[in-house]
A and B are shown apart, each in its own frame.
Chain A
Amino acid sequence: AQSVAQPEDQVKVAEGNPLTVKCTYSVSGNPYLFWYVQYPNRGLQFLLKYITGDNLVKGSYGFEAEFNKSQTSFHLKKPSALVSDSALYFCAVSVYGNQGGKLIFGQGTELSVKP
């Protein structure tokens, strides 16, 4: 069965420190991996994606993610966290195929950045 796991419900970091939000996946075939962010009372916003190529993917707002095929992981990172990064982050996977853009989401990780 296809699945995505975000092992941490909550991540707390101090402003200026690096942050990591973890994601692991289990799919058959080549995965297309995504990170989305949800701010309070807002819809999900696309951050970045991995389709193929370089394992380090750069996205919006200074975020990046590292694809690791052997560990089936796609962790989200940022070198220096901002208070405004505080939000709910979702990892998702879509398997390339006839169903188009079906996304399977992790349960979400709440990121809290303190001044």
Chain B
Amino acid sequence: EAQVTQNPRYLITVTGKKLTVTCSQNMNHEYMSWYRQDPGLGLRQIYYSMNVEVTDKGDVPEGYKVSRKEKRNFPLILESPSPNQTSLYFCASSATSGRSYEQYFGPGTRLTVT
């Protein structure tokens, strides 16, 4: 089954404690992206990756890091989480070839930073 998986689904942590949210896709997609969803703001892009070892900032990158060492994985790293990073996070992937740009989303990770 074609899918994007994220782990963990729920995470409660304290300010300053480094954490990583994993994302993996099994569709051989080149493009992967992280979004955060906040009420009234929709989804905003944090970082994206066009391919292995190619990453770039999205609209709200402050406080986040990413890496793309393998095509299927795109982890999101919060080295020193703060309460304003409490949010619902989604990983997504899409194929960049051709004219089809729909993205496939993971189930989400709800993060609470206290």
Contact = CB atoms under 8 A, between A and B. Distances in A.
Interface in B20-41: 30-31, 33, 35, 40-41
A99 B4 CA distance: 21
Nearest to B104: A46
B99 A103 contact: no
Nearest to A47: B102
A35 to B, nearest CB: 10
A25 B50 CA distance: 25
Chain B contact surface mostly: strand
B42 A49 contact: no
B74 interface: no
Interface in A93-107: 94, 96, 99-103, 105-107
A112 B111 CA distance: 27
B43 A103 contact: yes
B103 A103 contact: yes
A1 to B, nearest CB: 11
B90 A90 contact: no
A9 B39 CA distance: 10
Contacts of B90: 43-44
Given A101-B94, A102-B58, A107 B101 contact: no
Given A107-B40, A108-B42, A101 B104 contact: no
Contacts of B99: 51, 96
17 contacts: A41-B107, A41-B108, A42-B107, A43-B90, A43-B105, A43-B107, A43-B108, A49-B101, A96-B101, A99-B48, A100-B48, A101-B31, A101-B94, A102-B48, A105-B42, A107-B41, A107-B42
